[in-house]
Chain A
Amino acid sequence: MKSSPNTELFNLAAESVAYENTVVLKNITLQIDRGEKVALVGPSGAGKTTLLRRLYNSVADRSAYVDQHYALVHQLSAFHNIYTGRLDRYSTFHNLLNLIKPQKQELQEITPILGELGMEEKIFEKVGSMSGGQQQRVAVARAIYRGEDILLADEPISSVDPHQAGTVMEIIIENTETVVVSLHAVEFALKFARRIVGLSDGEIEFDLPTKEVTQTMLTELYRNGKPF
């Protein structure tokens, strides 16, 4: 896959990541360009989260990240959690104002995002009292509201009901220019991503346009994963 340097966003060349002597990523070479929609697939422990975090660290200030554990403040409402996505864009005074009383403009911006995710009526509800799927959708909403060109999402539909997962994926893919998303559910990767990177045991097994990924490759990928 060739591209001109000015559209190149990520470029890892034979990189390894290790924590306390445990190698998590081995010799990863990966290049992602502006406008790509990439899915990372692979069994648990393959290194998907580590790879996403590695990518995020290089573009932290101009990207949004959906944490696999949502990273929400349970004591605050959905509105406030979503507003958090843009804290760095407003003055401290404006942030305090919104904390005390949600402002009209922010409400007008945040309500439709929650609406698309089917949670408009939950806007003032405390996140701590929501179900896992609802919390996850708030985490996605926060990333969308942040409105950056790059979105990195770690298992963003793992807890969402099957009948809503498609909608959530669509919102993730369509709202942002460049998307890298790790997915456990292979069928969603095949349906929404345009490029699929298969990871297993810290190594890239394959990196292909979605059309070229076969069922055999996927079965093989998951069979090579760590035994249970």
Chain B
Amino acid sequence: MLKTSLFFVAIALIALLLADLEVSTLHPWTELSRMAWGALTPDVPSLWNLKLALLNTVVFAFCGIFLAVILGIGLAFAFHFTPVRLFCAFVRAIHEIFWAFIFLPIVGLNPTCGVLAIAIPYAGIFAKVYAEIIQESDRRPLEGVPRASGGLSRFVYGILPIIYADAKHYTGYRFECALRSSAILGFIGLPTLGFHLETAFREGIYSEAWALLYAFYILIASLRYWLTPRLVPLYIAASFVLLSRTITVSWANIVRFFTYDLLPWPMRREGVLDGTREISFAWEPIVSWASEIFVHEAWEGIWNTVVLTQIVLVGTGVFALLSFPFACRHFSGKIASRISHYALIVIRTTPEYILAYILVQLWGPSMLPAVWAILLHNGAILGFLCSNNADLVQLRIDAPGRRIDRYLFEILPRVYGQFLAFLFYRWEVMMRESAILGILGIYTLGFYIDSAISDDQIDKAILLILITVLLNMGIDSVSQFVRRRLKISTKLVTSL
């Protein structure tokens, strides 16, 4: 485990030398002080005018999650088929914002686009996790169910009650993620919180921006008070009713997208030039079109995405290992650990995209803001998890008194395996985030995808998204390989 860790640290150090980390803004500290002042003086009354954006954020999340759960359950039962598993990995590998880019030309910039952008990737995630939960649950009770019972009866009596608590817990956590996704979809123009956040930050109206951010924190912190299983059906129904007025699906658009827009430019070129919109087909121009994109854009995008990912992978780990003792009862007092605990929750709650956006405003577009944004968000998630796990450890009565000894000899060895498993588990997530942050002007894959979309070159954007997907699925299998080789799993061993 130590060898592997050092190997990845070495890669990250090399990547750090290769990365562009400069601060290009002229007065980063003045801007920071203005931002800090905004944080102290949130413009709460402005929220009243933005209530619709807050409502939309929640409504998109509800509709998206609902569709994702239904699709996810269905797919979970077919998960043992390799094509289904690959399909799920494929849809998961595309970030919500990229999905929104794909749906944009099909359904237009409207709520349907936002809901689908959440529903599709989350369905892939649910399918995988539900399948894992079912697989790891106690299968014996199902043997007590008569074999000839109907499929649904077997499910609701023999499987659902056993997995219910785990599945509910995970779905709840994913709803929180969906709120974050929904919020940041505003950054590309959908009518959610991100839309106003972007405007406020861009125009330097920091008091309003902070009021929105605080509202978002409160929304998420209060989840457990209003997201009760009994009320969920009501919320979902209300959300769909609210959305139904704006659902627009044009078959013509869908057909055009799949049969025309999607095709590589060389196939459409002649038809566009002579106005007939006819499609021609020849291998050579398509290959040269693709290799042109690969050499001039994709290659640099891939390189930067990988460099950024390797830096944040190790950065996240370091942040988590340094931060978790502050929130752990074995190292900090009651009050100090509580405060650190909440600090980690607040950092974790802030979507990495928003963090990166703020940092880009401060430092200008380079890898520096992206590194910190991804590292803080993921590091806080991991630090929180590690501190919870460390809290479960029962120290022996004669455990070392000095904190550093306790950390190195008692706690760290016990939580390290699981820490590493989670870190590698999130490797793929970090890569997806690295790619997406290109939209903010960092030269990762997202930058080129965003540019292609702005130039209305859907074919190019799709090709680049496919490259991103392959990169992601590649990282995912490397991560699985590493975890299997190290024999680490995300399940904790507390007694020992």
A positions within 8 Å CB-CB of B: 60-61, 65, 67, 69-76, 80-81, 83-92, 95-96, 99, 139, 142, 146
Complex-state Cα separation, A35 to B148, whole angstroms: 24
> Interface residues of B: mostly helix, strand, loop or mixed?
helix
- The closest CB in chain B to the CB of A72 belongs to B141
Complex-state Cα separation, A91 to B259, whole angstroms: 45
**Quick one: which of A61, A74, A85 contacts B148, CB cutoff 8 A?**
A61
Contacts of A84 in B (CB 8 A): 144-146, 157-158
Q: What is the minimal beta-carbon distance from A129 to any residue of chain B, in angstroms?
A: 14
Complex-state Cα separation, A7 to B140, whole angstroms: 32
The 7 nearest A-B residue pairs measured at CB: A87-B149, A71-B144, A88-B148, A75-B161, A88-B146, A88-B149, A95-B153
Q: Do A71 and B143 touch (CB < 8 A)? A: yes
> Interface residues of A: mostly helix, strand, loop or mixed?
helix
Q: What is the minimal beta-carbon distance from B345 to any residue of chain A, in angstroms?
A: 29
In the complex where A75-B162, A87-B157 touch, is A67 in contact with B140 (Cβ < 8 A)?
yes
Q: What is the minimal beta-carbon distance from A183 to any residue of chain B, in angstroms?
A: 20
Query: Please, could you name 6 A-B residue pairs with CB atoms under 8 Å apart, sorted by A?
Result: A69-B140, A75-B162, A84-B158, A88-B150, A96-B152, A146-B146
Q: What is the minimal beta-carbon distance from A2 to any residue of chain B, in angstroms?
A: 33
Q: Do A67 and B143 touch (CB < 8 A)? A: yes
Q: Do B152 and A92 touch (CB < 8 A)? A: yes
In the complex, B27 has a CB within 8 A of chain A: no
Q: What is the minimal beta-carbon distance from A197 to any residue of chain B, in angstroms?
A: 24
Contacts of A96 in B (CB 8 A): 152-153, 156
Q: What is the minimal beta-carbon distance from A163 to any residue of chain B, in angstroms?
A: 26
In the complex, B164 has a CB within 8 A of chain A: yes
**Quick one: which of A61, A70, A92 contacts B147, CB cutoff 8 A?**
A61
Q: What is the minimal beta-carbon distance from B261 to any residue of chain A, in angstroms?
A: 44
Contacts of A92 in B (CB 8 A): 150, 152-153
**Quick one: which of A69, A75, A88, A146 contacts B165, CB cutoff 8 A?**
A75
Q: Do B145 and A87 touch (CB < 8 A)? A: yes
**Quick one: which of B147, B148, B162 contacts A73, CB cutoff 8 A?**
B162
| B interface, size bucket | 20 to 34
In the complex, B268 has a CB within 8 A of chain A: no
Complex-state Cα separation, A136 to B128, whole angstroms: 35
Contacts of A91 in B (CB 8 A): 150
Q: What is the minimal beta-carbon distance from B98 to any residue of chain A, in angstroms?
A: 39
- The closest CB in chain B to the CB of A80 belongs to B157
Contacts of A99 in B (CB 8 A): 156-157
Q: Do A95 and B147 touch (CB < 8 A)? A: no
In the complex where A73-B162, A88-B148 touch, is A95 in contact with B157 (Cβ < 8 A)?
yes
Complex-state Cα separation, A162 to B293, whole angstroms: 79
In the complex, B154 has a CB within 8 A of chain A: yes
Q: What is the minimal beta-carbon distance from B350 to any residue of chain A, in angstroms?
A: 36
B positions within 8 Å CB-CB of A: 140-150, 152-154, 156-158, 161-162, 164-165
Contacts of B141 in A (CB 8 A): 71-74
Contacts of A142 in B (CB 8 A): 144
Q: What is the minimal beta-carbon distance from A166 to any residue of chain B, in angstroms?
A: 24
Contacts of B154 in A (CB 8 A): 87
- The closest CB in chain B to the CB of A142 belongs to B144
Complex-state Cα separation, A142 to B143, whole angstroms: 12
Q: What is the minimal beta-carbon distance from B479 to any residue of chain A, in angstroms?
A: 31
Contacts of B162 in A (CB 8 A): 73-75
Complex-state Cα separation, A105 to B375, whole angstroms: 60
Contacts of B158 in A (CB 8 A): 73, 84
Q: What is the minimal beta-carbon distance from B422 to any residue of chain A, in angstroms?
A: 27
Q: Do A67 and B144 touch (CB < 8 A)? A: yes
Q: Do A75 and B164 touch (CB < 8 A)? A: yes
Complex-state Cα separation, A92 to B156, whole angstroms: 10
Q: What is the minimal beta-carbon distance from B144 to any residue of chain A, in angstroms?
A: 4
Q: Do A73 and B146 touch (CB < 8 A)? A: no
Contacts of B142 in A (CB 8 A): 71
Q: What is the minimal beta-carbon distance from B152 to any residue of chain A, in angstroms?
A: 5
In the complex where A61-B147, A74-B162, A75-B164 touch, is A95 in contact with B156 (Cβ < 8 A)?
yes
Q: What is the minimal beta-carbon distance from A89 to any residue of chain B, in angstroms?
A: 8
Complex-state Cα separation, A105 to B156, whole angstroms: 20
Contacts of A146 in B (CB 8 A): 146
- The closest CB in chain A to the CB of B146 belongs to A88
Instruction: Given contact pairs A65-B143, A90-B153, A95-B150, enumerate 14 new A-B contacts (beta carbons under 8 Å).
Output: A65-B144, A71-B140, A72-B141, A73-B141, A73-B157, A73-B158, A73-B162, A76-B161, A84-B146, A85-B146, A87-B149, A87-B157, A96-B152, A96-B156
Q: Do B146 and A87 touch (CB < 8 A)? A: yes
- The closest CB in chain A to the CB of B138 belongs to A74
Complex-state Cα separation, A92 to B151, whole angstroms: 9
- The closest CB in chain B to the CB of A96 belongs to B156
Q: What is the minimal beta-carbon distance from B421 to any residue of chain A, in angstroms?
A: 27
In the complex where A69-B140, A92-B152 touch, is A86 in contact with B157 (Cβ < 8 A)?
no
- The closest CB in chain A to the CB of B159 belongs to A73
Complex-state Cα separation, A75 to B157, whole angstroms: 10
Contacts of A88 in B (CB 8 A): 146-150, 153
Q: What is the minimal beta-carbon distance from B73 to any residue of chain A, in angstroms?
A: 16
Contacts of B153 in A (CB 8 A): 87-88, 90, 92, 95-96
Complex-state Cα separation, A157 to B164, whole angstroms: 30
Complex-state Cα separation, A67 to B149, whole angstroms: 18
Q: What is the minimal beta-carbon distance from B153 to any residue of chain A, in angstroms?
A: 4
Complex-state Cα separation, A80 to B361, whole angstroms: 59
Complex-state Cα separation, A87 to B158, whole angstroms: 10
Complex-state Cα separation, A85 to B162, whole angstroms: 17
Q: What is the minimal beta-carbon distance from B145 to any residue of chain A, in angstroms?
A: 5
Among A70, A76, A139, max chain B CB count under 10 A is at A76
Complex-state Cα separation, A71 to B140, whole angstroms: 5
- The closest CB in chain B to the CB of A63 belongs to B146
Complex-state Cα separation, A99 to B152, whole angstroms: 12
Contacts of B148 in A (CB 8 A): 61, 88
**Quick one: which of A60, A72, A89, A95 contacts B144, CB cutoff 8 A?**
A72
